[in-house]
Structure 1
Amino acid sequence: MIGGSRYFGKLLVDRLRAAGHQVTVINRGSTAPPAGVEHLVVDRNDEAALTAALDARTFDVVVDQVCYTPVQAAIAVRAFAGRTRRYVMTSTIEVYDPGSAALPTVAAGTPVPEELVDPATWRVAADLPWHDDAYLEAHYAEGKRQAEAVFTRADGFEFATVRSAHVLGGGTQEFTGRLAHYAARVVAGEEIAVHAQVLPTVFIHHEELAELLRWAATADFTGPLNACSDGPLDVHDLVAVIAAQAGRAPVHRTVPAGGKASPFSYDRHYAMSNARAKDLGFSFSHTADWLPGAVAEALTQSVPSI
């Protein structure tokens, strides 16, 4: 596994080991893996060092948690060709964001299928400044699309990409802090900036995503796969769950067209369909099954007295 040192990546390592798999973790050494897991300390961006670290090793499957650019993907293709049968990349719902690329129009309310973004036909531009952190942050979705495209065109292994919905749950483990952001604002009575007409998005619990990635690692499908719980929510739905548990009335402020809104407030449609994963045999939960628990964790994280 490349990455796997935090959040659902750590949980995935635990679940793979519990299933009897021998796990090797590759990262830069900032976080040690659990005892009993082989640890290769190397920067994935350094191709020579990565190749040397792999030495004569081979793997049944590589799960790549931290591939963000076509340059990183190209290095991995060369380093792992002939060393693994299968390669699974963790991608994102953001590849479908119509605000980040010219994509076919999907009517609001229609779940977005995988074929909307076909990595086999997506243009790759490795000469863009992917090494620049500011550029990468501003072009996160495009970096993921192009990384998928590089892997899809590789011949050295079977490739699958898991396009994850917004991941919630886990309290302090949820490093983006987005749910805690909402919880803190609701409790404090602070305004939540929303669009005039909000559209729903999709979510997945961190434990469910870890389980799906464990399943994907040993499955035999290829190509993109959407990963989201049933039950899309818009920002008002999400805040209502928080407000009910906090016992506070939320305060919304409508932003003007083009204005900056809070995380999970969307005025564009790209809520994913999970039909392909279901057809392949994976069963998803409903957001109503786990969101209250995730909210309770976020409230505790944001306001210890609650």
Structure 2
Amino acid sequence: MPQICVIGGNRYFGRHLIGLFQDAGAHVTVVNRGSAPQPPGTDHVIADRDDEEALTRALGTRTFDAVVDQVCYTPVQAAVARRVFTGRTARYVMTSTMEVYDPATCASPRPPAATPVPESTVDPAGRPVTWDLPWRSSAALTRLVGEATAYAEGKRQAEAVFSRDPVFPFVSVRSAHVLGGGPRDFTGRLRHYVARITAGRPVAVHRDPARTSFVHHEEIAAFLHWTATRSDFTGPVNAASHGAFTVTDLCEAIAAATASPSPVYRTVPEGEPASPFSFDRPYAMSTARATALGFSLTKVTDWLPSAVAETTAEISQEV
């Protein structure tokens, strides 16, 4: 029986991921701080991943065929995991993000503006790691560099720690923006758009919004499961549904799916925050590597209408 470890992330698509492993006959160990209940049928290890001694002690003699790390946000966390899981796992998969490509948060080397962006644009093995930043305090780090940069740079540098002189086969899955319908999507981002568009309220957008990438919550779970159970590739891989959208493309699709009038937009002045998924710079991802490796990706238009319908139904039940 395959032994799988999932660190954190057992809400939203993480819960679906665990179910996929179980359906395939794997034994799943979930590691978290105990703030969320364990999914049925899993082995629950309660430990703070930042506490190296406690994590090592809690894991005991367990070994794994693969680890899926859903909540690695900093190089310090990556360094702890690297030490703790050396000799314990045959494969390590980190859930990363397309934000590693965001030129607005990347000082040097800066990714090019051309899209779609391939994985080689940000080489984790060649990136510097800045150990003297306040990685252990998210509040201090955010005050210093801003929330978006703290998130994106934390992911970039975490990938770098795992990638240099790797102690186990390592893959970073750079996920597109995850969307899903109904109460499973605790982020509320799709709900934000559905609620505003169906009510005829304006959506704040940039003057010339750029295209970005999306993936359905079930698809990213399936992609992580596939990645963890493969053994023939390592390194970064982009995960996104086919068909990059601008924020206005997204709004028009939601309006069509809900039979709403054309969306109303408010163009934000330069420097003012816009709605989620409105970007003034392009960094939609290339999925050529994932496709070449054999994963069959869907199109955004395949799943967006049903996700919108789920969200619309949820909103209507609350009225």
TM-score scaled by length of structure 2: 0.92
| CA apart distance, 1:207 | 0.5
> Aligned letter for 1:199?
A
> Aligned letter for 1:271?
A
Residues 63, 87 of structure 1: 8 Å contact kept: yes
| Alignment partner of 1:186 is 2:186 | no
Residues 181, 190 of structure 2: 8 Å contact kept: no
Q: Note the alpha carbon deviations across 1:225-248, whole angstroms, 9 max, x for none.
A: 000000111111110121123323
| Alignment partner of 1:129 is 2:134 | yes
Query: Which residues of structure 2 form unaligned runs of 5+?
Result: 1-5
Residues 164, 227 of structure 1: 8 Å contact kept: yes
Residues 168, 174 of structure 1: 8 Å contact kept: yes
1:222 pairs, out of 219, 234, 238, with 234
CA distance in 1, matches of 2:52, 2:261: 52
Partner residue, 2:255: 243
CA distance in 1, matches of 2:295, 2:157: 27
| Alignment partner of 1:232 is 2:239 | no
Moved over 3 A (4+): none
Matched position secondary structure for 2:91: strand
Matched position secondary structure for 1:59: coil
Q: Note the alpha carbon deviations across 1:74-119, whole angstroms, 9 max, x for none.
A: 0000100011111000000100000001313232xx3100000000
Query: Which residues of structure 1 form unaligned runs of 5+?
Result: none
Partner residue, 1:212: 223
Q: Note the alpha carbon deviations across 1:253-273, whole angstroms, 9 max, x for none.
A: 111222211111111010000
Partner residue, 1:104: 111
Matched position secondary structure for 1:249: coil
| CA apart distance, 1:64 | 0.2
Alignment of 1:39-188 (within 5 A): 39-102=44-107, 103-107=110-114, 110-134=115-139, 135-136=141-142, 137-138=147-148, 139-188=150-199
| CA apart distance, 1:303 | 3.4
Matched position secondary structure for 2:280: coil
| CA apart distance, 1:133 | 2.4
Matched position secondary structure for 1:229: coil
CA distance in 1, matches of 2:316, 2:200: 13
Partner residue, 1:303: 316
> Aligned letter for 2:278?
S
Matched position secondary structure for 1:35: coil
> Aligned letter for 2:219?
E
Matched position secondary structure for 2:7: coil
Residues 241, 295 of structure 1: 8 Å contact kept: no
| Alignment partner of 1:203 is 2:210 | no
Partner residue, 1:34: 39
| Alignment partner of 1:4 is 2:16 | no
Matched position secondary structure for 1:79: helix
CA distance in 1, matches of 2:318, 2:183: 16
| CA apart distance, 1:143 | 0.3
Q: Note the alpha carbon deviations across 1:154-203, whole angstroms, 9 max, x for none.
A: 43211000000000013211121111011111122221111111111110
> Which deviates the most, 184-193 or 14-23?
184-193
Partner residue, 2:23: 18
CA distance in 2, matches of 1:158, 1:289: 33
> Which deviates the most, 127-136 or 282-291?
127-136
CA distance in 2, matches of 1:146, 1:74: 10
Residues 10, 39 of structure 2: 8 Å contact kept: no
Partner residue, 2:3: none
Percent same amino acid among aligned pairs? 60
CA distance in 1, matches of 2:210, 2:16: 31
Residues 102, 111 of structure 2: 8 Å contact kept: no
User: RMSD of aligned C-alpha atoms?
Assistant: 1.4
In structure 2, the CA distance between the partners of 1:131 and 1:305, relative to structure 1 (3 Å rule), is closer
Matched position secondary structure for 1:303: helix
CA distance in 2, matches of 1:111, 1:82: 37
> Aligned letter for 2:172?
T
